[in-house]
Amino acid sequence: MVDTTWQQKFEIGHPRIDFEHRIFLDLIAQFADQAESGAPAKRLLRTCAELYKYADFHFFSEEGLMEEIEWPETAAHKALHRDLLKQLQDYIDSVALDQVRTSEMIGFLLQWFTSHTAAEDRKLARALPSSMPYKAAV
């Protein structure tokens, strides 16, 4: 069983980003639960699609904050987001073709979430002015 429990180390100190990260981790947990319980491929693929769409939304949200403060690391951070979406789509395609073990995908997602949140998103949170904790990204 995979541990998808929210941990203090995931908190970056920005309320909206932390909230969105909780939802993303919940979707990973949902996928892990479905995979471990032997859910039908159709259900797994639907959750994969939801994961992808939510990741895309969350990245758009974060990138709006980056652009608003003209953060110098925006381009590099956006590239990391694009890479994750590409890798996630590759995993989804493999799941659709029954060519990848779901445990491999879950491990990838958890590792990426943990490392990206702890390093990259924490840098962004430090750059955000305290006066804009809830400001909309668009």
Q: Note the pLDDT of residue 34.
A: 94
pLDDT in tens, 37-50: 999 989 999 999 99
State the angle between helix axes of 74-96 and 41-68 in degrees (0 to 180), rounded to the nearest 10: 170
C-alpha span between 20 and 84 (Å, rounded)? 16
pLDDT at position 132: 60
Tokens in use for 61? Answer: 């949200």
Mean pLDDT value across residues 22-48: 94
Q: Which CATH architecture has domain 14-127?
A: Up-down Bundle (1.20)
Residue 90: helix, strand or coil by DSSP?
helix
Domain boundaries, the chain: 14-127
Q: What is the pLDDT of residues 76-116, one digit of tens each?
A: 999 999 999 999 999 999 888 877 788 899 999 999 999 99
